[in-house]
Structure 1
């Protein structure tokens, strides 16, 4: 009997996929599913080779598995999940206990993310090792999926919240490096602020390597330099800031698993620096990423960890916390609670003072809050009001954010029945991304939504032209 019933009969696969079947000696393209990452990066197999290996392993285990290349294609496209027997065989091939595939739903039990960041103690030396590993690593991006979710994702925030702040003497220098003076840290901080500005103007995808260079500098100073305890704290705070920025830039480029690694490292470094604001700031970004990838329960848990320091951070950070809570609650279907959080965000921002806002949080202001308000109104069926909020948000935003928000504005106009407004907003987004050199995968994905929303009007000449521009940009 053929146990894997999805493999015996299937629709033909697109021809392009046959040509791109990845083997061990071909360059990796962005992988959109954990199974694809495991197959290519860990096993170095193409789809046909992987299917053959599964059939052979199944025979050794006493099963008759009918897996084919088409079966693997459908697993990785998300059309079907492997049945129970197939998952047992996959686990055995990967030398994973069979109990593992029963402890979490498919594909979350696959080894698509290094669990070391979860299990490493939150001591200063271990945090330094974590930062060094990130700054020395090559490209680890797997575009499209989160490497960790559920309770394990919530636990990162919980560990940050309960871990004790650093009170020990400064670490002994690993070597005989130069003295790290406050002036050196000041110059390094200026470099990081320049990176923030570049990311906001042009998108983060093109500056990831620059961020990694800054992270390498910071970890080298921590590892080899001679410094006071206060300078050590500042270096860890800078390390947390750079890791959080790298997490954001990877998320903006849809390299989601890499983003999670950097966010987790940022939490550790923020705790080493005893910086509640940096930690809460990082948790906000982690929560939004989780909610975007249908990890709503985890997202709410991360925000609960962040909210635990609300009374110890500035009013600007409190406004940011409430705004991110609104986003997460809205995505989890809690509209009333989301509206209440949005009201708290506006109230806190109105009372805030820019003098108490750290440089890495200066991006948060009325423009960002209007964007959150617009998305809330759009999701709750108030498209006409959403257009007003989103127009204000776009007008006040840096260029990268304009590119993303114009897509949301186009959707709001389309839902409000204003086709001209939708096309104008879409054109602005296309000009920024296609002609303006803005790098944002999130903006591209928003345009894909616009392409679909405009389909009922495809026969109109201007709509046809606009959809063709989107298709050319996004390779729909």
Structure 2
């Protein structure tokens, strides 16, 4: 039988570096600042830690005593709104998968983000993952039994949501959140066999990864990071090193997107130590090449591109689901983008154009990103008219499928179009971008 997970109030207090006495004093001080007197003592706090729900006022005092603003409190969701970390990263451990999921779900419910996760914390998590053994799968709890039919239903509906056409996925955020919350509750409170536990962890990892990409596309970076971290904990629990490496590469991709290439490179190097499948290693090497090229490390970037090409040739068709999409199109475009950063403009443009044409219709969001890359490569070649055409196509596609990340890529290119305001297609592009900004406001 698995040891019980510590109550979130205990975790939050320890994370805040507070003794029980200091927490009680903080709660009384929060009440006193309102001209009220709290009768809370250590015995009352222990009752809360054993399952008694504090009043809404007491929950506000708890939040303030822990150093968090009152509007983080969701009184009807006690104790799940409590923060479980100081820096947003739950350490890997034998019982860390539920706290990591709860942290992701809690952060997603915040009205605003109170912290950003540092590159140092993410690199440390990657190093911890690379060095440590996989966790044992969760054993049965003394809760209500979880049946195979329910797990199969959750797997099927999750697969259906993930398989919707790109433009329909923008409407599924609430459904995905509900699915993940249900799976988290089952992992924490359900009674299940090891085989069902494996499926629940795998499902939690898949859902968290999907939600992370949604949040990332919306520019909600802390929320995305938390969900990738939660997915990593659950992949780690199953011993799936390739999936764990892929989730770390997603965090690295996000870091590179935010121009933190040092963090991206650290994470990717750790991820490569345990990734085995050629398709997984191809994706990792492509992302490593991109971040090395952005740092101007030409020889290392070219070596990573060569390794990615070899791994893709070795990958075959039997691939993990999470990286089954990696293709010649991705190799071409990412190679081109790396070469663009290294100054090889002509070859870069050729590869980006080839890759964009190779992309299957089902990957519309990726097509929008690739079109933005093609627009940038045209600008580097001083070809504003085809650049405007590609950028316009990307913006229209992003508007249709609800992809703010594509819009951001084009917004970043707009200053480079200003010298070409009289070139055919450029005025229309600038007007379309203005319309998008008005709609966003």
**TM bracket, shorter-chain basis:** 0.7 to 0.9
Partner of residue 150 from structure 1, selected from 119, 130, 133: 119
**In the TM superposition, what are the counterparts of 1:330-345 in structure 2 within 5 Å?**
330-345=293-308
- The Cα shift of 1:223 comes to 2.8
Q: Any conservation in 1 of the 2:91–2:125 contact (CA below 8 Å)?
A: no
| Cα distance in 2, alignment partners of residues 334 and 216 from structure 1 | 43
| Cα distance in 2, alignment partners of residues 374 and 204 from structure 1 | 29
Partner of residue 340 from structure 2, selected from 360, 378, 382: 378
Correspondence for 1:361: 323
Q: Any conservation in 2 of the 1:157–1:283 contact (CA below 8 Å)?
A: yes
Correspondence for 1:69: none
Correspondence for 1:402: 367
Correspondence for 1:325: 288
Q: Any conservation in 2 of the 1:141–1:257 contact (CA below 8 Å)?
A: no
User: Mean alpha-carbon deviation: is it higher for 217-226 or for 363-372?
Assistant: 217-226
Partner of residue 118 from structure 1, selected from 89, 99, 112: 89
Cα pair distance change 1:447/1:204, threshold 3 Å: farther
| Cα distance in 1, alignment partners of residues 92 and 342 from structure 2 | 43
- The Cα shift of 1:432 comes to 1.0
Cα pair distance change 1:268/1:168, threshold 3 Å: closer
Q: Any conservation in 2 of the 1:413–1:419 contact (CA below 8 Å)?
A: yes
**In the TM superposition, what are the counterparts of 1:172-321 in structure 2 within 5 Å?**
172-173=141-142, 175-177=143-145, 179-181=146-148, 184-198=150-164, 201-202=166-167, 205-310=170-275, 313-321=276-284
Cα root mean square deviation, aligned: 2.8
Matched, 1:162 2:131: yes
Structure 2 segments unaligned to the other structure (5+ residues): 1-65, 69-82
Cα pair distance change 1:449/1:342, threshold 3 Å: same
**In the TM superposition, what are the counterparts of 1:6-21 in structure 2 within 5 Å?**
none
After TM superposition, what 4+ stretches of structure 1 lie above 6 angstroms from structure 2? none
Q: Any conservation in 2 of the 1:367–1:392 contact (CA below 8 Å)?
A: yes
Partner of residue 433 from structure 1, selected from 377, 398, 410: 398
- The Cα shift of 1:260 comes to 1.1
| Cα distance in 2, alignment partners of residues 137 and 95 from structure 1 | 16
| Cα distance in 1, alignment partners of residues 154 and 296 from structure 2 | 42
Cα pair distance change 1:347/1:474, threshold 3 Å: farther
Give the number of equivalent residue pairs: 357
Matched, 1:346 2:317: no
Correspondence for 2:140: 171
- The Cα shift of 1:308 comes to 1.0
Cα pair distance change 1:362/1:184, threshold 3 Å: farther
Q: Any conservation in 1 of the 2:127–2:270 contact (CA below 8 Å)?
A: yes
- The Cα shift of 1:180 comes to 2.6
Correspondence for 1:5: none
| Cα distance in 1, alignment partners of residues 419 and 90 from structure 2 | 51
After superposition, the C-alpha distances for 1:382-409 in whole angstroms (9 at most, x for unaligned) are: 3332232222322314111111211111
After superposition, the C-alpha distances for 1:254-291 in whole angstroms (9 at most, x for unaligned) are: 10011111111111111111111111010001011112
Matched, 1:391 2:339: no
Structure 1 segments unaligned to the other structure (5+ residues): 1-93, 97-111
| Cα distance in 1, alignment partners of residues 218 and 371 from structure 2 | 17
Cα pair distance change 1:137/1:462, threshold 3 Å: closer
Q: Any conservation in 2 of the 1:122–1:163 contact (CA below 8 Å)?
A: no
| Cα distance in 2, alignment partners of residues 232 and 151 from structure 1 | 32
Cα pair distance change 1:119/1:136, threshold 3 Å: closer
Q: Any conservation in 2 of the 1:288–1:327 contact (CA below 8 Å)?
A: no
User: Mean alpha-carbon deviation: is it higher for 247-256 or for 215-224?
Assistant: 215-224
| Cα distance in 1, alignment partners of residues 291 and 153 from structure 2 | 36
After superposition, the C-alpha distances for 1:447-467 in whole angstroms (9 at most, x for unaligned) are: 112321211111335311221
2:205 aligned counterpart, secondary structure: helix
2:191 aligned counterpart, secondary structure: coil
- The Cα shift of 1:113 comes to 10
Cα pair distance change 1:186/1:394, threshold 3 Å: farther
- The Cα shift of 1:137 comes to 5.8
**In the TM superposition, what are the counterparts of 1:100-119 in structure 2 within 5 Å?**
114-115=85-86, 117-118=88-89
After superposition, the C-alpha distances for 1:402-433 in whole angstroms (9 at most, x for unaligned) are: 11211111111121132332122122112212
- The Cα shift of 1:371 comes to 1.9
Q: Any conservation in 2 of the 1:117–1:264 contact (CA below 8 Å)?
A: no
| Cα distance in 2, alignment partners of residues 232 and 417 from structure 1 | 56
